[in-house]
């Protein structure tokens, strides 16, 4: 692991899965400007490398997934306009075409909650906790927390998190629907990697299309989203992977999908 002055983002690729680890455990994986730039480069690699089909995001150590931006660096910006125009790490993560899984192993506070919400699937340790804590410091989140919470949990629960800033534990987050599955701490990362490995075996064009459809469903009206899905289905049906899927089904064997 790195020292805690600036931190880093480690990338390990195995069998079509990229594990991205926020590596600043002594500072609860608070994101520095340097780490934000490294995350940008890591997700650019994830999207550009056809051998990588799924990403998993986690935090180093046992205490924290991520507690958001390093508060000590917020004062570096010349003025609020410069802060507004920064390259936000949550926006970077939401721009990834490929499926992303968050393995939330501890505190997911502030921008860390937004990072988790920016992933497609969220798994959590039973020791994890979640908070939109910015309101306690005099501001609010700006990485998509309001919109993403509203799309993920009931309205009253979203308001409770945003207006109090108080943490909720993993069991409560599961009840809300904020996370899909809970695991014992030592089982979380293996479970996330196993899930990622299963998704990596799916035809990659179809998997990326499914993700695009889910995003469209959030931002389009019902009729437009269904039409978008129909168009994406037609694109998938014209791929070699779809032809392979039909042959594999007829031959009663697993498909061999290449992303073409």
Convert the pLDDT of each residue in 57-110 to its tens digit: 999 999 999 998 877 666 676 667 766 666 778 888 998 999 999 999 999 999
CATH of 8-200 among 3.90.226.10, 3.40.50.10950, 2.60.120.10, 3.40.50.20: 3.90.226.10
pLDDT digits (tens, 9 = 90+) for 146-193: 999 999 999 999 999 999 999 999 999 999 999 999 999 999 999 999
Crossing angle (nearest 10°) for helices 240-251 and 222-237: 70
> Mean pLDDT, to the nearest integer, of 243-256?
93
The whole-angstrom separation of Cα 28 and Cα 256 is 41
Residue 38 to residue 46: CA distance in whole angstroms: 12
Q: pTM here?
A: 0.92
Average pLDDT in the 35-56 region? 94
CB-based contact 154:162 (threshold 8 Å): no
Q: Which of 34, 134, 172, 229 is catalytic?
A: 134
Residue 251 falls in the annotated catalytic set: no
10 Å CB burial of residue 206 (0-12, 13-18, 19+) is buried
Alpha-carbon distances of 260 from 205, 243, 247, rounded to whole Å: 7, 10, 15
Is residue 3 predicted with pLDDT exceeding 50?
no
Share of the chain above pLDDT 90, in %: 81
Q: Catalytic site residue 229?
A: no
Three-state DSSP state, 56: strand
CA–CA distances in Å: residue 88 to residues 76, 91, 226, 246, 255: 15, 5, 30, 42, 39
6, pLDDT greater than 80: no
Cβ-Cβ contacts under 8 Å for 226 (sequence gap 6 or more): none
Residue 1 has pLDDT above 60, yes or no: no
**From 12, 114, 187, 251, active-site residue:** 114
145: pLDDT strictly greater than 80: yes
Percent of the chain with pLDDT over 70: 92
Model pLDDT, residue 78: 62
Whether 28 shows a pLDDT value over 70: the answer reads: yes
Where do the domains of the chain lie? 8-200, 204-251
CB distance 129 to 107 below 8 Å = yes
Q: What is the pLDDT of residue 70?
A: 76
Number of neighbouring beta carbons within 10 Å of residue 196 = 24
């Amino acid at each position: 692991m790195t020292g805690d002055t600036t931190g880093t983002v480690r990338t390990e690729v195995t069998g079509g899965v990229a594990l991205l680890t926020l590596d600043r455990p002594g500072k609860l994986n608070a994101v520095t400007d340097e780490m934000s730039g490294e995350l940008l480069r890591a997700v650019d690699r994830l999207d550009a490398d056809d051998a990588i089909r799924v990403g998993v995001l986690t935090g180093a150590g046992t205490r924290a997934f991520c507690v958001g931006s390093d508060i000590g660096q917020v004062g570096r910006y010349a003025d609020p306009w410069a802060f507004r125009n920064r390259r936000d790490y949550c926006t970077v993560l939401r721009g990834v075409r490929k499926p992303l899984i968050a393995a939330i192993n501890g505190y997911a506070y502030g921008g860390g909650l937004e990072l988790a919400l920016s992933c497609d699937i969220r798994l959590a340790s039973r020791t994890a906790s979640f908070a939109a804590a910015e309101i306690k410091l005099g501001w609010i989140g700006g990485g998509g927390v309001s919109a993403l919470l509203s799309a993920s949990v009931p309205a009253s629960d979203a308001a409770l998190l945003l207006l109090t800033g108080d943490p909720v534990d993993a069991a409560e987050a599961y009840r809300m629907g904020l996370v899909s599955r809970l695991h014992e701490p030592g089982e979380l990362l293996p479970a996330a990697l196993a899930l990622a490995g299963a998704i990596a075996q799916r035809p990659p064009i179809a998997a990326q299309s499914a993700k695009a459809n889910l995003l469209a469903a959030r931002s389009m009206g019902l009729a437009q989203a269904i039409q978008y899905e129909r168009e994406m289905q037609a694109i998938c049906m014209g791929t070699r992977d779809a032809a392979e899927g039909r042959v594999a089904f007829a031959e009663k064997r697993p498909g061999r999908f290449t992303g073409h």
